[in-house]
Structure 1
Amino acid sequence: MAILRSQIEQSEVTQYIPPKGDYQTFRDEDHFKEKLKEWGLPAAKREFWYKERKLQRQVTIKGFETYGNTDEFNTLVIEFQDGKLTCIHPAFLKEMQSSSFGKESLIQMDEKDSGGATTEEVTKQTAAPVEAQKKEKAPAKPAREPKAKKEKAPKLELPVDKVHFTASVKQFALVYNPFNEENDEVVVLENVQIVQENPLDLGLAWCSHSKTLKKFELAPGDVLEFDGKVAAKKLGKGKDAAEEFIVEEAVLYKINNPSKIVKK
């Protein structure tokens, strides 16, 4: 009668996690010992201790459940003396066999960190299949949108022969000439357009401030008409007359030999 009462009291404090459906059993004694060795449990033992905060009970291992992508993980199915079954992680049962369990065990340290979780609650957590935890992964980060590439301005087909231009003076600049190691004076033009059946806008262009141009005593803002040839030649770095770096925009075109100049 005393033994029966003890089993009933133990059953009331233990939280059971019964196996879900069928579980695997051992093929023979050799298979049993092989699995015990794999789980780090003594192969010579048939009964093991199941320890809780205020009591400990002897259990036997009836079988195991498998989970994981390749069934590489196991959850043990253990049987109490009253015939009830519960699941437990192999490492947790192994920890229970230690004489220090309940004192300075790693499981108790985990309980302190989790705010005093009970042994039964830890059992419940460790028995949960890892497969279920994998399904609760953090949502994948959205893929970065590729940076939009700056669209290059279409390359202009420049006329080979001399053509007629309209433009206005933007500024004067000094550009270093590596051949004579001196600064050459140039004129930077804006609103440059080639006048033809289909007018062609060049935007900015430059030309040498030749003796011919100097006769017109040009100033920024002056509007000009002239003939000349154009070439794709970028203006190098330079400074204007006030020794300030010039032109925020690239000046990609050079006008050669301007003639028939009209200042408006």
Structure 2
Amino acid sequence: MLSAASSQLNEVTFLPPKGSYETFTDEGHYAEKVREWGLSTTKEVKKQFLYKEKNLQYTVTVKGYEVYEKNPEINTIVIEFQDGNLCCIHPAYLKEMQASSFGKGSFSDAAESSPSPSNEKEKTEMHPAEDKVPESPKEPSKKKEKPVKLELPEEKVHFTASVKQFSLSWNNFNEENDEVIILENLVIQLENPIEVGLSWCSHSKTLKKFELSPGDILEFDGKIVKKKLPKGKDVEEQFIVADPVLYKINNPSKIKKG
């Protein structure tokens, strides 16, 4: 059984607040916070609480609280012992101490190791303002959906598309950037049309005759292959393509500008 030990405060390992802490503005504020921490459920709000340690118990009062700077909803209570010493404690831990069962069984059997505030685990419970904010449960990570594999026709087919932008692509053969056109909304016009999305093709002399601009609608024949757009080297911002472009149009012909 825990015995009264107000004269044995030298047994307590104090964790005083670091610097200033929040105090109560009035009795109403005190009652609100104490009930928020679950320390009092009666009509008359409790003014004294028990602090239990090493088979001893002490009467303490709540003087204020610390606020965790990154999360104002997380508090550390500041309690005062009868000799004026201050100590920080987690609200839930002080609440546990009010139970008559606290200190029995594993508490009294392991008084030398588990309940001592010098123990690292208990320090965390009593002074969470010095520790990290508890992480909220992580939602199960959603697997990225793999892009649908397109069945590309091998023969020359008819396409519709619009010009998205102009870009530059590195050519390993001549070791310089080539001009290319990025097409969007590319559709292979078959009996069952195939939506491709983005594609690219060389800005050839034939295409340059059309003096294309972003937004222009095109119809043309050509062959499509799976070939990722090689990034240009040292290109200006307006030539950078934000999304990956995985398909290339070869030898566009019978071009019509809408």
**Structure 1 or 2: more helix by fraction:** 1
- Superposition TM-score, scaled by structure 1 size: 0.49
| Larger-Rg structure | 1
Q: Which has the higher contact order (CA 8 A, sep 6+)?
A: 2
- Superposition TM-score, scaled by structure 2 size: 0.50
